[in-house]
Amino acid sequence: MSTSTLVLVVALLAIGTYAIRATGVLLRGRLVLPAWLETLLPVAATTLLAALVATAVFTDAGQLAFGVARPVGVLVGAALALRRAPFAVVVVAAAATAALLRLAGLP
């Protein structure tokens, strides 16, 4: 990919991102949403994040993964995060747990 093509792609993505964000700001006062949707919007980001985590934990290369190491590692990380451990400790502990379980022969 040439430099000019890369700059063009980045510029187009920046314009698209700005347009999407500006649309939300401009339409917020004019768009009337149903009450049930207004109650669900505050939890939409949390729900999306949970879905992304579940997809990363329980799938591998687009296929359902029945391993033990990855979900247990995520549970260890979640438990440490709930106890307000530092982020680096959470990541290292989760990765170490999964690695040790795989080293022990668990998928």
Q: pLDDT of the chain along its 107 residues, tens only? A: 799 999 999 999 999 999 999 998 888 778 888 999 989 989 999 999 999 999 988 888 888 888 899 999 999 999 999 999 999 999 999 999 999 999 999 88
Give yes or no for a contact between 67 and 101, defined as CB atoms under 8 angstroms apart. Answer: no
Is 56 within 8 Å of 88 (Cβ atoms)?
no
pTM over 0.85: no
| Token representation of residue 20 | 């999407």
Domain chopping of the chain, boundaries: 1-32
Rounded to the nearest 10°, the torsion over CA 59, 62, 64, 69 is: -30
Position 94 scores a pLDDT of: 96
Instruction: Name every residue whose Cβ is closer than 8 Å to that of residue 76 and which is 6 or more positions away in sequence.
Output: 93, 94, 97
Residue 74 CB coordination number (10 Å): 18
* Distance (Å, whole) CA 100 – CA 78: 17
Q: How far apart are CA 54 and CA 58, in angstroms?
A: 6
